[in-house]
Amino acid sequence: MAAFNRVESKKRIEDAVYNEIVPAGEGWMYDLEPGQTLRIVDLEGNQAADTLFFDADNPEDHYSAVRTIAGQGNIYLTTGSILRAESGNALVEIVADTCGRHDTLGGSCSAQSNTVRYSHDKLHMHNCRDTYMLQLAKRDGGYSKRDLAPNVNFFMNVPVTPDGGLEFADGVSGPGCYVEMTAKRRTTVLISNCPQLNNPCNAYNPTPIQLLIWND
């Protein structure tokens, strides 16, 4: 396993221009201006913040896991990672990270994946895909299901085994861990604070996140 790269931020909470708590099972959508910095705080630890990014001026150009992974030559995200769109354009850069590693491969939960991974009686449970769609429906931008690309799972631990398998493992994050990213262009951020109750990634206990934004 690669060494964890934990970098603290020098930003002060009292200087933030935005400060919001998002409970588990809720979504959030926001347009960052270039140079603005978003911090996502894992308030109680072991939470998963399923996150997508769009070029706010060209929403069809959404976050691309492949572009991001190929660009940095690593499957995990941490300080210094540049999250890229399908076009290759930089959307945000991670500038601080006290967790040290974030997943690019696990995707988000959905009603369908819940039935496949767990059991058919999980079909009705809250899931990230429905949360995304509820947020997108509030926008006039013409977003639809096809805009939902494979997402980033901040704070989630999905280690890759030596033979290339994926494991959904106990979390690597802890209470108060955060990740901070600066927008490289106007970027729409879409978060589903995962309500998943069937997965050890969040210790079977989904918890709130805090979102803070600074102008510079």
Q: Give whichever of 68 and 196 is closer to Zn ion, judged by the CB atom.
A: 196
Q: Give whichever of 56 and 148 is closer to Zn ion, judged by the CB atom.
A: 148
| 201 part of the interface to Zn ion, by CB under 5 A | no
Among 32, 92, 99, 128, binds Zn ion (CB under 5 A): 128
| 194 part of the interface to Zn ion, by CB under 5 A | yes
The answer to whether 38 and 211 have CB atoms below 8 angstroms apart is yes
Report residue 87 as tokens.
């076009």
Among 36, 68, 151, 196, binds Zn ion (CB under 5 A): 196
3-state SS class at 34? coil
Among 22, 65, 85, 109, binds Zn ion (CB under 5 A): 109
Burial class (CB in 10 A: 0-12, 13-18, 19+), 59: middle
Report in angstroms how near the CB of residue 192 gets to Zn ion at its nearest: 6
Report in angstroms how near the CB of residue 24 gets to Zn ion at its nearest: 9
Residues lying near Zn ion in the complex (CB under 5 A) are found at 109, 128, 194, 196
